[in-house]
Amino acid sequence: MNSSVAPQAARPHRTDKAPPPDAALAIRARIVAAFGRHFLARTDDGRLLPCVPRGKRSEAVCGDQVLLAPGDPPLAIDRVLPRRNALWREDQWRSKMFAANIDRVLLVTAAVPGVNHGLIGRALIATDAAGIPVTLLLNKCDLPQAEAARAEVSLYRDLGYDVLELSVRSAPDAARQTLLPLLSGQTCLLLGASGVGKSSLTNLLVPDAAAATGEISAALSAGRHTTTATRLYPIPGLPGGSDLMDSPGFQSFGLHHLSVSQLQHAFPEIRARLGQCRFHNCTHRNEPGCVFTADPQAISPARLQLYRTIHAELTAPQPR
């Protein structure tokens, strides 16, 4: 379970019972939407093609490069090409891949519903382990709660992460100007809890996206309207290859797919002082002579607690 390299990350997969693909006839495309077993892929010349996996298992995720067999729609996905990277979460029961082939994660938090350190900390660990650069976005800075949220995210700035502030609602032009340099020529994934404004930001940058946001359901009094599938959109006005992915908000973020070493290296403050504890194999949980227990400057109590909680999750005996 705790293997450091996920099996899906690097290998090309043939979907079940695929005949040998004829490279000359195959259509190369990128998955831009996944709804259960139904996918939408975009060719380099901009055609959108409905497609389905050949066998029972649907291994493709948003962002994957695939080879499609020519034929009547929906086309069969013959092969998922090797991934540069993939981001996913995994708990005791199941694993969920968010997306693949990502240049940067834009990890969104907001003044309302507030900064959730558990989710942010875990998402930062997962992106580090996947080798994907990350930028934190603090949205809804127009709200009175922004001051408190700013104080909360300063922790991440101090740890060396890039943190950008914006208000999609009250300062859309400034938000665009802040983000465009990061987005140019890149595939960026918006990631974050529900209601932080990922789809609002998508609609700002991709006016044709019509991504569902909170308002739509308010108008229909149908309760909250929340994104249910990851989608990839080309960003107009930027060079080709500038793509934005909107994803559903997450409430939990299991990290069962990581090794203890990946966990320790993903905490900048732990990485900086590895090897300084009395025991070389210190787990930083309860050993004597642990620098993180002894020196309150080494790591904040909340971050140390998060580390210990995740360490316990990774090393707990697996249920039979």
Ligand X SMILES: Nc1nc2c(ncn2[C@@H]2O[C@H](COP(=O)(O)OP(=O)(O)OP(=O)(O)O)[C@@H](O)[C@H]2O)c(=O)[nH]1
Q: Which residues make up the interface to ligand X (CB under 6 A)?
A: 139-140, 142-143, 167-169, 192, 194-200, 213-215, 226-227, 248-249
- Piece in contact with Zn ion (CB under 5 A), picked from 6-14, 40-48, 113-121, 285-293: 285-293
Q: What are residue 194's phi and psi, to 5 degrees?
A: -65, 140
Q: Is 86 helix (H, G, I), strand (E, B) or coil?
A: strand
Question: Minimum distance from CB of 263 to Zn ion (Å)?
Answer: 13
Question: Minimum distance from CB of 269 to Zn ion (Å)?
Answer: 12
b/e burial code for range 80-101 (CB count within 10 A of at least 16 → b): beebbbbbbbbeeeeeebbbbb
Question: Minimum distance from CB of 213 to Mg ion (Å)?
Answer: 6
Tell me the C-alpha distance between 51 and 23, whole Å.
18
Radius of gyration of the chain (CA): 21
The sign of the dihedral angle between the CA atoms of 287, 288, 289, 291 is positive
- Helices 117-129 & 301-315 angle (0-180, nearest 10): 60
Q: Within 81-140, which residues bind Mg ion (CB under 5 A)? A: none
Identify which of residues 35 and 279 has a Cβ nearer to Zn ion in the complex.
Answer: 279
Output the residue with the shortest Cβ distance to ligand X: 249
282 binds Zn ion (CB under 5 A): yes
117 binds Zn ion (CB under 5 A): no
Question: Minimum distance from CB of 136 to ligand X (Å)?
Answer: 14
200 binds Mg ion (CB under 5 A): no
* Contact between residue 127 and residue 107 where contact means Cβ atoms under 8 Å apart: yes
186 binds Mg ion (CB under 5 A): no
199 binds Mg ion (CB under 5 A): yes
The binder of Zn ion chosen from 30, 231, 284, 303 (CB under 5 A): 284
H/E/C letters for each residue in 1-39?
CCCCCCCCCCCCEECCCCCCCCCCCCEEEEEEEEECCEE
Count of chain residues binding Mg ion (CB under 5 A): 3
Identify which of residues 127 and 203 has a Cβ nearer to ligand X in the complex.
Answer: 203
